[in-house]
Amino acid sequence: MISSCEKNIDLDLPPIDQKVVVEGYVENGLPPYVILSKTEPYFDPIGQNTINNLPVRGALVYISNGIDTVQLTELDTSINGVSLGGFYVALDSITFLPSMIGTPGTTYSLNIITAAGEQLSSIAKLPMPIPLDSTWFKVQEDLDSLGWAWAKLSDPDTLGNAYRWFAKRLNKDDFFIAPIGSVFEDRFINGRSFNFPYNRGTIQNSEAEEDNNEEADYYKKGDTIVVKFCTIDFATYEFWRDAENQVSSNGSPFAVPSNVKSNISGGRGLFATYTASFDTIIAN
C-alpha cells in the first residue's frame, strides 16, 4: 500500500507599506498625463473598497520642459459608475485646453507631492522620431488569408535607440494594441536596415471569437491596419521589456523572478516618453 501525508503551512506575512505607483506619459503632439495609484498586498482580497482606495487623489502634479512648469489638472474618471480620480492631465483647469504639448528632443521633469506629503520625481527625454521606411501585409506560410504586419526600419548609427510597436484595425479595435514583444532596442541592429514582422496581438482575456480561434494573433485580408511606431527612451524600453517578460512567463515553473525596473524616485512605476509616427496598411 502506498500512503502519503499532507501538511498545511500557514504563512504569517508581515504587513507591507503602501507605495505610490506612477504611470506617466509624454507623447509628441499630446498633453502629458499621469495616473497615480497605490500598491496592494499580493494576497489581499480585491473588492469594491480596494478599487475605491487605489487612486491617489488630491496630489500636486507638476511637469516642466526646462522653460515652463505646469500643474496638471485632476480629472474625475469613473468605471461602471464608480468614481476613481487619480488621473492628472496637462489641461488648463478653466478652459481645459492643453497647457503643455509633448515636443521631441525635449527633456521633461515630473514632480509629485501627494496629500499625505509623499514626494516623487522623475526625468525623461522625448526622443526625436525615427519612422519606419515602409510597411506591408504578408500572408503567413501556407495560411489562406491570415498573416502578419511587416515593416522595414533603418536604425541610426548611434547606440541606445529603442522602439515600441502598436497597431489597431480600423472599425474593429477600439484602441492601439501592443503585442507581447512590442519593445526592442538597437544593441544588435545598430546602424542597419532590416525587415521584421509583428503579429496582431490581443487584449488579455478577450472573449471575441477571432481571439479564440485560428485567427488569433493574425491579421487577415481585408483588414486596414494602422501602425503606431514609437521611438522611446531607454527607461521606457527597460520597463516594458521586464513587464512583458513577466506576462509571457506567467505560470511557468522555470521562469526567473525579476522586478520590473522603475524610473520613479520615491515610488514605483514609470514616467514614459513616446515619439510616435503612423503608417497605414491595406491587407490584400
* Interval 84-97: pLDDT, tens: 679 999 999 899 99
Please report, in angstroms and rounded to a whole number, the separation of the first and last CA atoms in the chain.
Answer: 65
CA distances (Å), origin 204, targets 177, 180, 216:
10, 11, 12
pTM score = 0.88
- Coil, helix or strand at residue 21: strand
Q: Which amino acid is at 211?
A: D
Quick one: the chain helix, strand, coil %, rounded to 5? 10, 40, 50
**Higher per-residue pLDDT: 76 or 172:** 172
Handedness of CA 224, 175, 65, 244 (dihedral sign): negative
**Higher per-residue pLDDT: 252 or 248:** 248
250-254-257-260 Cα dihedral, nearest 10 degrees:
-50
Tell me: the pLDDT tens digits for 5-57?
A: 677 777 666 667 788 999 999 999 999 999 999 987 766 666 655 666 789 99
Distance separating alpha carbons of residues 23 and 236, to the nearest angstrom:
11
CA nearest neighbour of 242 among 256, 231, 230 = 256
201-202-204-207 Cα dihedral, nearest 10 degrees:
-160
Distance separating alpha carbons of residues 27 and 176, to the nearest angstrom:
14
Percent of the chain clearing pLDDT 70 (strictly above):
86
pLDDT for 13 equals: 65
CATH T-level fold of 20-125: Immunoglobulin-like (2.60.40)
CA nearest neighbour of 103 among 155, 61, 66 = 66
Q: Which amino acid is at 160?
A: G
Q: Where are the alpha helices (DSSP H) in the chain?
A: 48-53, 234-248
Radius of gyration (C-alpha) of the chain in whole angstroms: 22
Dmax (CA) of the chain? 80
DSSP state of 210: G
Q: Residue ranges per domain, the chain?
A: 20-125, 134-258+276-282
Q: Are strands 87-89 and 107-113 parallel, antiparallel or unpaired?
A: unpaired
pLDDT > 80? residue 66 = yes
pLDDT for 91 equals: 96
